[in-house]
Amino acid sequence: MICIKCHKEITDGALYCPNCGKKQKLQRKIRPHKRVHGTGTISVDKRYKNPYIAHAPANADGKGRKYLGAYPSLECAQKAIADYIGRGCPELFNVSVREIYEMWSQTHFGHIAEKTADCYRSNWKHFASIANMKMSEVRAIHFQNIVNEHEGAGVSRGIKVLAKALCRYAMENDIIDKNYAEFVKLPKKEKAEKMIFSAEQIAKLWKHSDDRNVRAILVMIYMGFRIGEMTALTTDSVFIDEGYIIGGEKTEAGKNRIVPFPAQIPEIKRFVQEWARNTAPGNRLFPFTEHSFRTNVFYVTLIRLGMVDAYMDEHHKIVFRSERHLTPHSTRHTFASLSVAAGMQPERLQKIIGHASYHTTADYYIHTDREALTAEMGKLVRNCT
């Protein structure tokens, strides 16, 4: 036996060289693991970091032997084959994350709003680093690394939502056995203080309530509609004689909810009645998209009234001089604040505003009748001081 350092002859099997003291390494040749015929094969290639290469068993005709992956240990390779066989040898076992996304989106996008689908498409761009990986080999750390590369809380949350959807689809097709995206940690979101319309600003809106755009903002303030819900209102949504509007979107709690007109602010009902009277049956009360309503109705009006410090640039885009300013969603927060100040019951406020997160004690009010909701809206008054 020759010493691996000084190359002098030493006793066979010696652990240390008596001449230089170097510890000897006994080389043991790793042979491919023998498995029972028809249960797959495991070969070894020490040139790679993951030397144990697993192949699934061939079909009855001897064809179709699938490459499952390279693994760091024999146990991992054995488990990969066992998992593959246990799942009934799924055809999708080797598909990439990209292929999973394409199959999932082809089915899922047909059942969601185009705006939501666009959000998924935007979030998918962040998956480029793992798009070509096999879905069966992706783990929580891969999703976590993508999240860690992005600072924005909204982007990180969107990445996790898409990752969970892809994992769920892979589980449904027996490619993985757990939703690894569930373990992803999101950055702590700093809760920003929401701006609402002050009493002085609301009073100023009333002074200019002969303007159709101002009236739209007042309706949003006193009825709590989201901007997308406002632009979606049609003549079929309005029930003047009954005293309410049916509208809403986003959550199951928010869809097609009854929002009564505030009885002590008759102007709100009159505004909506005039819009409906001057609109063809079945058409939208406002001929705007959500984006154009936000820009050409809401912000243009508030800039003109001096409530938002901004200007229109050469590309006809609004540039805000302050990061914190009133937004269309401020009307919804204002509605909630005015309602609480007026003494509206929280459970019924949740019903009117269409929030999905009900407390256990609020479940009783899911079937609250229209008369009770109308009574709550009657607590709102025009003078908010």
16's tokens = 């240390």
Residue 42 bridge partners (DSSP): 33, 54
136's tokens = 């069966």
Question: Can you give the pLDDT at residue 365?
Answer: 29
Half-sphere exposure of 85 (CA within 13 A, CB side): 17
d(C-alpha 20, C-alpha 306), whole Å: 87
Measure CA 225 to chain center. Answer: 22
d(C-alpha 75, C-alpha 38), whole Å: 18
Question: Can you give the pLDDT at residue 61?
Answer: 52
pLDDT by residue, tens only, the chain of 385 residues: 788 888 888 888 788 888 888 888 755 544 555 665 667 888 888 888 888 888 877 665 555 567 778 888 888 888 888 877 766 666 677 789 999 999 999 989 988 888 888 999 999 999 999 999 999 889 999 999 999 998 777 889 999 999 999 999 998 887 888 899 999 998 876 656 678 899 999 999 999 999 999 999 999 999 989 898 899 999 999 999 999 998 766 544 445 788 999 999 999 999 999 999 999 999 999 888 898 999 999 999 999 999 999 887 777 788 888 878 899 989 988 888 888 888 887 777 777 877 555 442 233 323 345 666 787 788 888 766 5
Question: Can you give the pLDDT at residue 90?
Answer: 65
Question: Can you give the pLDDT at residue 194?
Answer: 73
Question: Can you give the pLDDT at residue 35?
Answer: 64
- Could you identify the residue written with the tokens 């990439």? 96
Question: Can you give the pLDDT at residue 306?
Answer: 93
**Would the CA dihedral through 228, 230, 234, 239 be positive or negative?**
positive
74's tokens = 């024999």
Question: Are residues 354 and 251 in contact, defined by beta-carbon separation less than 8 angstroms?
Answer: yes
Question: Can you give the pLDDT at residue 253?
Answer: 45
Question: Can you give the pLDDT at residue 252?
Answer: 47
Question: Are residues 246 and 258 in contact, defined by beta-carbon separation less than 8 angstroms?
Answer: yes
Question: Can you give the pLDDT at residue 378?
Answer: 83
353's tokens = 């505003």
The letter for the amino acid at 70 is: A
d(C-alpha 23, C-alpha 15), whole Å: 6
